[in-house]
Homo-oligomer: A and B are copies of this chain.
Amino acid sequence: MRARSRPKQRSSADRLIVETAGRIHADVKKSTRPRLEFPVRSLSNVHYDGAGGTFVLNGRMSTRDLSYTTAKTFAQSIRMMSLSKMLVETDDIATKRDAYYQSKNWDEARFEEQPESDTVMDDIEAMLGVNREQLGFIPDQHGGSVVGPVVIIDKHPATGRPLRIDLTKQGTGAWSVPSSVEHLKFKTKAKFVLAIETSGMFQRLVKHAFWKKANCVLVAMGGVPSRACRRFIRKLADGQKLPVYVFTDGDPYGYSNIYRTLKVGSGNAAHLNEFFCVPQASFLGVTPQDIIDYDLPTHKLKDVDIKRAKDALKNDPFFQHHKRWQKAIKQLVKMGVRAEQQAFAAHHLNYVIDTYLPQKLRNVKKFLP
């Protein structure tokens, strides 16, 4: 089975599954041993593509021949594809956990523990070269909260009819992004997307309708962004050609866990980065220089912060590629402090709205890459 060599995305997930099954069936009929072929999913099979701005697979593959020892996993893979086909055909969804429980009906092919079924799902996703949301599998996390001048074109769950959701009309709340966003379309005249780490800062910007003043879409990531959140931002930014500016705490977690994950994806899911990374992202702040320029109250870096910073400098191809990031992280370590995005409140509560963000947004070209 060599599904990876087929044109991706042009075929629907549905058709990819049928083709794969067809080839297995043909092999069996010819008494050829059928095989499944997956890209190896680990950091060792990955490099950073500076131009494209993502982690990219090096191309090492692993294969699963049908044999005495692999019969069970082989059967599980086929069953999982069959479940996916059903989901796609009936426009239904299943979480990883649902899929695990479904397998309890698969007799000898049932999974004993959920990590086993998760792995098989990852295999199939990588093999078919699609993201698992396209296979009907959804994550068990929502995709963050969004407001601003954008109309979401979704469908009504009860009737299937198109539904336009105006995200300027969510009041003091926001629109909660669903687990799967593949079917969404957008209309917007916004100039950029502002992705925000904390719910508290998001709520302040919503309360004061910052999205209206700045003509932007606000997204609350709530820490490290979930798959759905990353995919949502990517689709919105791609479709509408919007830049994405990221606003996190000024600390190694904000830089290397939140921002880096949003922008380039994660190493051990490199087969997915083409869907989930956000190459149009740049880093607004809080930078180490902001801490100085805006005279922010700070906390001392903890050991775990310093370790995270040093790891990023030493082992992370993304930071190794970008000299400006190396300089920034070294500066922070030297300063020995971190600052939270809410620290601007020390000046006055809405300093972030009337001073910091407008000043930074005048020089977006200076944002860290």
Residues of A within 8 A of B (CB): 92-95, 97-99, 101-102, 104-105, 138, 140-142, 145, 152, 154-158, 163, 165, 169-180, 183, 198-200, 203-204, 206-209, 212, 220, 222, 297, 340, 342-350
Given contacts A98-B349, A342-B98, contact A93 B157 (CB under 8 A): no
B93 close to A203 (CB less than 8 A): yes
Complex copy number for this chain: 2
Q: What would 6 A/B residue contacts be, using CB atoms closer than 8 Å? A: A92-B350, A97-B200, A157-B206, A157-B207, A172-B180, A175-B176
Whose C-beta in chain B lies nearest to the C-beta of A205?
Answer: B157
B157 close to A209 (CB less than 8 A): yes
B220 close to A200 (CB less than 8 A): no
Bound form: Cα–Cα A28–B179 in Å = 58
Contacting A178 at CB < 8 Å: which of B104, B174, B348? Answer: B174
Bound form: Cα–Cα A191–B6 in Å = 51
Bound form: Cα–Cα A174–B176 in Å = 5
Given contacts A95-B342, A97-B340, A97-B342, contact A104 B200 (CB under 8 A): no
Contacting A199 at CB < 8 Å: which of B101, B140, B347, B350? Answer: B140
Q: Point out the residues of chain B lying under 8 angstroms from A340, CB to CB.
A: 97, 101
B206 close to A178 (CB less than 8 A): yes
Q: Point out the residues of chain B lying under 8 angstroms from A173, CB to CB.
A: 152, 154, 165, 175-178
Q: Point out the residues of chain B lying under 8 angstroms from A342, CB to CB.
A: 95, 97-98, 101
Given contacts A142-B145, A172-B180, contact A95 B154 (CB under 8 A): no
B157 close to A104 (CB less than 8 A): no
Which of A178, A344, A348 has the most C-beta atoms of chain B within 10 angstroms of its own C-beta? A178
Bound form: Cα–Cα A92–B352 in Å = 14
B349 close to A198 (CB less than 8 A): no
Whose C-beta in chain B lies nearest to the C-beta of A203?
Answer: B179
Inter-chain pairs besides A101-B340, A174-B178, A176-B176, 15 sampled, C-beta below 8 Å: A92-B349, A93-B203, A97-B200, A102-B345, A142-B174, A142-B222, A152-B171, A152-B173, A155-B171, A156-B169, A158-B212, A163-B171, A172-B183, A175-B175, A179-B200
Given contacts A207-B157, A297-B101, contact A200 B140 (CB under 8 A): yes
